[in-house]
Amino acid sequence: MSQRDVERFERIVLPHLDDAYTLARYLVRDEHDAQDVVQDAVLRALRYFDGYREGDARAWLLAIVRNCCMTWLRRDHGTKNVISFDAGAPSVPDPRETDARAIQRSERAALTRALDALPDEFREVIVLREIQELSYKEISDVVGVPIGTVMSRLARGRKRLAVALGLGAKEAS
Amino acid sequence: MRCAECTELLSAYMDDELMRDEQEAVREHLATCSECAREEQALAGTSRRIKENLMRHATPDVLKARIRNSLARDDAFTPAPVPRRPAWTRWPALAAAGLVVAVASSTIAASLTRRSLASDAIAETIVDAHIRSLMPGHLTDVVSTDQHQVKPWFNGRVDLSPAVPNLDSAGFLLTGGRVDYVDGRAIPVVTYTRRQHVINVFAEPADGRSSSAHETRNGYHMVEWQSGGLEYWAVSDLNSAELEQFIALFKRG
């Protein structure tokens, strides 16, 4: 790979690094593991860069990151007890914290717990849709499943979350 | 439309991802069925709460630096048709791509005018050692926040005794020490952290030549100085002002 290719890679792919890291954070659920996975994914992306022609560089990078995360999760890591960073936030509240902030903090912790508890295939579509705001078509490209599958996984994932958050949806299917 | 069918489509309806006629049919059903309307509210509420509360994460500087380094290296291993510019001249292009922390590019000028580090090869090795130390589990051989444990730990492991000042009160926390092989010899490294930034302090016998240097390589700041017959290098992705502060305190002991 020539230096020009590396420069092109840096220009086209690296602007999406925050998206890549965000996806990895929510999929592997650990700050340090996410860093390792993203570094690995970016190097793979560089190696596969010949195969990238035109099109959505973000979806292309996210697909590689997603696959690296899934490989990582399958290599036994996925079964370890996950204590999410946010959920593990200080249990003694800062007395100066306003009520509104305290409520927001506990809400965030509850959401993170609920999301972390979702099966991987639901969690990934939720993150890609709600946090990264991808279209169903883009999600289908990243995850490598038909749009209909994206649709039904999102529906089921959201339903489980609604139940976990006590928002009164009908029983999760 | 029956409720079962509607429930199936609600989520995609919210995302506006249905065919137009399906979208319309769900809308009509929701207007007449309070149970499905409640369901839609629950799902929309869930979706809104996620969007409002869960954040996108910014790539940590340590990861950016690791990636920068591996890209530079990948490049270095590939034969290129024309003489390559040194890796650091590419940082402005990278900054445009949103990758480089502002601090790196702002110090490029400084690194151009003050490239007085004794040997490029040694400087390169030291930055490599710093980057290696950032890999999980590589930072410290002895983990201790106590200078009186870290300093004696080097006895018998290396033939010199580096300064291990306690700089806790200034916010530079001692995290431990390790032995690295640089240029074929074992040298002591003392590690500190400031927020999430790692500072590695390498020590070697001074070779008589008095040099002090500031340099930026792969986005890391390196500073070299002599003290007590030893030559020290501090390497970190910390901004240069704070690194200078650290070194001033370190020299004072």
Residues of chain B short of pLDDT 70, as ranges, are 72-119, 136-138, 208-211
pLDDT score at B208: 65
Residue range A20-46: average pLDDT?
91
In tens, the pLDDT along B20-52 reads: 999 999 999 999 999 999 999 999 999 999 998
Residue A170 binned pLDDT confidence (cut-offs 50, 70, 90): low
Complex ipTM, two decimals? 0.82
Q: Under DSSP, is residue B211 helix (H, G, I), strand (E, B) or coil?
A: coil
β-strand partners of B205: B230
- C-beta atoms of A170 and B97 within 8 A: no
Phi and psi for A85 in degrees, rounded to 5?
-60, -45
Structural domains in chain A, CATH included, are 1-82 (1.10.1740.10)
According to the model, what pLDDT value does residue B119 have? 60
Average pLDDT over residues A105-114: 87
For an interface test with A, which of B10, B33, B67 has the most A Cβ atoms less than 10 Å from its Cβ? B67
Contacts of A102 in chain B (CB under 8 A): none
Q: Which residue of A has its CA nearest to B38?
A: A169
Beta bridge partners of B24: none
Segment 88-127 of chain B within 8 Å of chain A by CB: 90, 93-94, 96-99
Give the gap in angstroms from C-alpha A145 to the nearest C-alpha of chain B: 16
Given a cut of 90, whether residue A139 has pLDDT beyond it is yes
Helix ranges restricted to H, chain B? 3-14, 20-32, 34-53, 61-77, 91-96, 102-106, 108-113, 120-134, 147-153, 240-252
Structure token pair of residue A137: 């078509």
Computed over every residue of chain B, the mean pLDDT equals: 77
> A55-72 pLDDT, tens per residue?
789 999 999 999 999 998
- Which pLDDT belongs to residue B93? 44
User: In chain B, pLDDT over 90 holds for what percent of residues?
Assistant: 28
Average pLDDT, chain A: 83
Identify the pLDDT of residue B146. 80
Q: CB count, 10 Å around CB of B46?
A: 27
pLDDT, residue B178, reads 87
pLDDT at A117: 92
For residue A13, pLDDT over 50 is answered with yes
pLDDT of residue B9: 93
Q: Is A120 exposed, middle or buried (0-12, 13-18, 19+ CB in 10 A)?
A: middle
Whether the CB-CB separation of B78 and B49 falls below 8 Å is answered with no
Chain A residue numbers touching B76 (CB-CB < 8 A): none
Which residues does chain A have within 8 Å of residue B64's beta carbon, measured at their own beta carbons?
17
CB contacts, 8 Å: B50 with chain A: 111, 115, 126, 130-131, 161
Where do the domains of chain B lie? 3-53, 61-252
Provide the pLDDT for residue B83.
Answer: 36
Class of domain B61-252: alpha beta
Closest chain B residue by Cα to residue A159: B43
Residues in chain A within 8 Å Cβ distance of B23 = none
